[in-house]
Amino acid sequence: MPDILYHYTSVDGLLGILRSGELWATHLDFLNDSSEGKYAHEVMWRIFNTAVDIEPCLDSDGISCLHHYQSFLENKGPLDASKQMAFTVSLTEAGDLLSQWRGYCPPGGGISIGLDTKSLAAAAAEQQFSLVKCVYHEHEQRDLIQKFVVDLVNSCKILDSQSRQTEFAAAHAGLLSIALQVKHPAFQEEKEWRLVKTINTPRVALRESEMNYRAARNLPIPYLKFKLPTRKVKWENYETYAPAEILIGPCHQPDLSAKGVEYALQTICKYPSHIIISKIPFKT
């Protein structure tokens, strides 16, 4: 696990994060790249429909249970989110990557926020999020999905039919989490990690305090709040959030941008962070 993971955003995004101490986990259906869910769906169907690699790991009862699970998925669809919902925050090991600046930040106004990974993982566990590393290679994706299926059917093979259906439905949240780890090999340079949370509660039962909305792309985008870990300010009697480091993206006035970020950290967080200027040249 890397020491620091980075979240790319705009200057406005940075100020909002510093003031609130929060990241926003977006609903799976509303991610900017809709092809991600489609790719994960295709990979899962290919594995589920080819049981040759899975069956050798199972005894006869497990194989029978696997066939029941395949039938369950054919009726439900492996990524059906009618009852379970998944939310995610994108992070990366690469804090100064040109494709990330271009893909996630406004031109000449990008910020990469470095977060301490151990503290982030602890905060994730407290809030029922998982911190997961994305998987790009097909053999690793196959191993990840097959392990999930083998563990599930081995735990369900001794159950009666009705109990199996209940367990299959309950396990669907785990399948959604895996879907958020599976990414196309073409994006492997991104070295992406994700904060992931799945919710089994039906949408009608969610309280407004649990589900939040922001406007983007002419849509109301549902999201959950993720509270970032805090640290105690030595010279004050309170705790604050402060990033481990902040990278200033390629821009026209990087030194002035860095000075502005330094002021923001001093006044909002009352805590210093290491500020770095991108090594990538700015092109006007």
* Residue 200, φ and ψ in degrees, nearest 5: -90, -15
> Is 10 a member of any domain?
yes
* Token code pair at residue 145: 């999905």
* Among candidate residues 240, 248, 225, the one with its CA nearest the CA of residue 271: 240
| Residues listed for the chain | 284
pLDDT number for residue 82: 47
Name the band, by pLDDT with cuts 50, 70 and 90, for residue 78: low
Residue 94 has pLDDT above 90, yes or no: yes
> Is 246 a member of any domain?
yes
Domain tally for the chain?
Answer: 1
Q: What is the pTM of this model?
A: 0.88
SS3 of residue 121 by DSSP: helix
**Residue 108 belongs to domain spanning:** 4-204+212-277
* Token code pair at residue 238: 């309170």
Residue 231 has pLDDT above 80, yes or no: no
**Burial environment of residue 236 by CB neighbours within 10 A (0 to 12, 13 to 18, 19 or more):** exposed
Torsion from C-alpha of 130, 136, 140, 143, nearest 10 degrees: 60
Q: Could you give the CA distance from residue 137 to residue 187 in angstroms, rounded to a whole number?
A: 10
Residue 209 has pLDDT above 60, yes or no: no
> Is 283 a member of any domain?
no
